Chain A
Amino acid sequence: MKRVFVFLSIALWLHAGLQAQPYSGPRGFDSVHRNEISGFLSGGHNTVTGFFVGEAVHFIHHLNDRWSVGGGEQILFFKQLFSLDAKGIYRLPLGKSDLFFIAHALLNGYNLWNASEIILNASALWESKFVDIRLGLSYIHYWMKQSSYTEPPTLTVGFGVNLKPRTSPWNMGLFIRTYDTYYYENWNINWGLRFYVLLQETLRLFGEFNVRPAGNMSQLANRYETSAKIGVKHVW
Chain B
Amino acid sequence: MRHQSILLYFAIAFFFSCEKVSPIGILVAGTNVEDRVKMSEQFYLDHYKERIWLESDGDYTFIVGSDSHMTTDPGRLDEMLSIGLSSDDLFYAHLGDIVDTKVEYYVRLDSLLQEGKRKYVAAKDLKGEYDDIVFPFFPIVGNHDITRNGWALWSNIFHSSFYEIDVIVRDGERKYYDHLIFLDTASGTLGETQIRLLKEGFLNGKYYYGQGYRYTFVFSHTNIFRPEFNEFASTFCREENFFLLSQFAEWNVTCVFCGHTHHGDERDFNGVHYLTIETMSERSHKNEGDYLVRVRIPASANQDVTYEKVRMKYVPAPASRVSP
Contacts and interface: CB of A to CB of B under 8 A. Distances in A.
Interface of A: 1-2, 5-6, 9, 13, 46-49, 79, 108, 110, 112-115, 117, 142, 144-147, 149, 151-153, 163, 172, 174, 176, 183, 185-188, 191-193, 209, 211-225
A222 B189 contact: yes
B200 interface: no
A216 B34 CA distance: 18
Contacts of A145: 249, 270
Contacts of A222: 19-21, 32-34, 187-189, 191
Contact of A48 (B12, B239, B267): B239
Contacts of B16: 1-2, 5
Nearest to A162: B7
B187 A215 contact: yes
Nearest to B188: A215
A219 B231 contact: no
Contacts of B240: 47-48, 214, 224
Contact of B242 (A144, A152, A214, A219): A144
A164 to B, nearest CB: 9
B233 A47 contact: no
B28 A188 contact: no
B143 to A, nearest CB: 5
A188 B269 contact: no
Interface stretch (B110-118, B220-228, B284-292): B220-228
A48 B195 contact: yes
A49 B231 contact: no
Contacts of A220: 20-23, 27-28
B130 interface: no
B174 interface: no
B270 A146 contact: yes
A54 B270 CA distance: 30
B228 to A, nearest CB: 6
B42 interface: no
Contacts of A188: 188, 234-235, 237
Nearest to A108: B238
Nearest to B227: A152
A79 B237 CA distance: 14
16 contacts: A9-B8, A48-B239, A112-B243, A149-B267, A149-B269, A176-B23, A185-B237, A211-B15, A214-B187, A214-B188, A216-B232, A217-B24, A220-B27, A221-B33, A222-B34, A224-B188
A192 B10 CA distance: 11
B183 interface: no
Given A187-B234, A209-B15, A46 B27 contact: no
B245 A47 contact: no
B121 to A, nearest CB: 37
B143 A186 contact: no
Given A48-B240, A215-B188, A219-B188, A144 B270 contact: yes
A46 B238 CA distance: 11
B34 A219 contact: no
B146 interface: yes
A206 B47 CA distance: 53
Interface string B183-207: 0001111111001000000000000
Given A145-B249, A187-B233, A219 B187 contact: yes
A222 B22 CA distance: 9
Interface in B102-122: none
